[in-house]
């Protein structure tokens, strides 16, 4: 039985890895084509390739459920087409043992996916965005396309590029009085976080106080603010690109401030339940091979797998915004498609 488990595990692992590689290759080519229209300044074709490569960990995390579904359909389909599943069942291998043999390699992919989603993808995404912003130019105010806005009291600030190591490029700041009149505007080339303050370098300040306009520059100065690298690392990325810890901490912070945190809670539950989502789709794949798709062609199995995966992802994407609009918990919006897949998979397996 141990040799059979290894054989099934190797077959499933190879199929899932192959499907994931194909999907990532197609996605990378598509992203590279999209980046060609953004080439300007120092953002050359080679920089676009680096940008696309840095986003591969995030894409791998996002496409893992679909890859597991289609990969299991292909791997088990190969075993079914060669009658190896029939021989295994005749040799006394139970359905439960077969399910566990398939789940073992999938659990490895799930574990690696969780590590990538938590510790690799958020930082590679942020570095990719910052690198592109620097290549396209950061030496002018409000120049970057995906810069970060933040407000602190009567001060509004914009950052062209935010690096994960606590360094900023292209900082634009506007200070207003209580009546909404502009008091001061400044632009700083770069700033480094020193623990209690930011150390600004190469700045230019324009003052509008008392009806006079004064302009002066400086080489270095201290900037004391409540804005920290941790806060900027949250603001610079979309909610679905953040790790679970930052999502939980920031949603808790928003709740304490009486602000809407539903978007971050929805992204948190998506990431928290992704291992269960992958397992539910694998159960669907096993039930299909043991039941209605046992005698079909490989192309039809792949087609069904893609359709089921797209329906699953679409249902989650539709229920997520619906939970925000209708006011029910985002956790249920994420769980409903997963529970439906699990129930359907178990029902079809028991029937088979």
pLDDT 10s digits, 248-282: 888 887 787 677 888 899 899 999 999 999 999 99
**Pairs from 327-335 (Cβ < 8 Å, separation ≥ 24):** 330/262, 330/265, 330/266, 330/268, 330/269, 331/265, 331/269, 333/266, 333/269, 334/266, 334/269, 334/270, 334/273, 334/277, 335/269, 335/273
Q: How confident is the model at residue 139 (pLDDT cuts 50, 70, 90)?
A: low
pLDDT of residue 263: 87
Whether the CB-CB separation of 121 and 61 falls below 8 Å is answered with yes
pLDDT tens-digit series, residues 67-96: 999 999 899 888 888 888 878 877 787 888
CA distance 307 to 310: 5
Signed CA dihedral, 108, 114, 115, 117: sign only: positive
pLDDT tens-digit series, residues 189-208: 999 999 889 999 999 999 98
CA distance 173 to 157: 4
* Mean pLDDT along residues 104-125: 94
* Mean pLDDT along residues 208-223: 86
Residue 64 has pLDDT above 80, yes or no: yes
């Amino acid at each position: 039985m141990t040799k059979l488990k290894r054989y099934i595990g190797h077959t499933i692992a190879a199929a899932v890895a192959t499907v994931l590689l194909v999907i990532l290759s197609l996605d990378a080519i598509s992203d590279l084509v999209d980046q060609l229209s953004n080439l300007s300044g120092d953002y050359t074709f080679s920089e676009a390739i680096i940008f696309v490569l840095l986003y591969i960990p995030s894409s791998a995390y996002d496409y893992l459920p679909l890859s597991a579904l289609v990969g299991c359909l292909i791997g088990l389909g190969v075993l079914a087409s060669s009658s190896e599943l029939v021989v295994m069942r005749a040799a006394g291998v139970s359905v439960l043992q077969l399910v566990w043999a398939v789940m073992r390699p999938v659990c490895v992919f799930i574990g690696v996916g969780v590590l990538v989603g938590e510790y690799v993808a958020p930082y590679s995404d942020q570095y990719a965005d910052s690198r592109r912003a620097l290549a396209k130019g950061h030496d002018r105010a409000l120049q970057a396309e995906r810069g970060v806005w933040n407000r602190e009291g009567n001060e509004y600030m914009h950052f062209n590029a935010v690096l994960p190591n606590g360094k900023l490029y292209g900082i634009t700041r506007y200070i207003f009085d209580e009546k909404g009149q502009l008091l001061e505007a400044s632009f700083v080339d770069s700033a480094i976080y020193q623990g209690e303050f930011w150390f600004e370098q190469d700045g230019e300040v324009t003052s509008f106080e008392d009806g006079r306009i004064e302009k002066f520059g400086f080489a270095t100065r201290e900037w004391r603010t409540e804005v920290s690298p941790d806060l900027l690392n949250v603001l610079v990325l979309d909610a679905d690109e953040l790790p679970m810890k930052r999502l939980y901490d920031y949603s808790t912070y928003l709740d304490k401030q009486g602000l809407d945190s539903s978007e971050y809670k929805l992204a948190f539950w998506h990431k928290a339940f992704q291992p269960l989502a992958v397992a539910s789709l694998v159960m669907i794949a096993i039930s299909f091979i043991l039941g209605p798709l046992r005698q079909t062609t490989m192309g039809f199995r792949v087609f069904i797998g893609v359709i089921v995966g797209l329906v699953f992802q679409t249902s989650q994407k539709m229920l997520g915004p619906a939970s925000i609009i209708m006011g029910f918990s985002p956790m249920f919006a994420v769980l409903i498609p997963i529970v439906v897949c699990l129930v359907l998979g178990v029902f079809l397996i028991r029937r088979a």
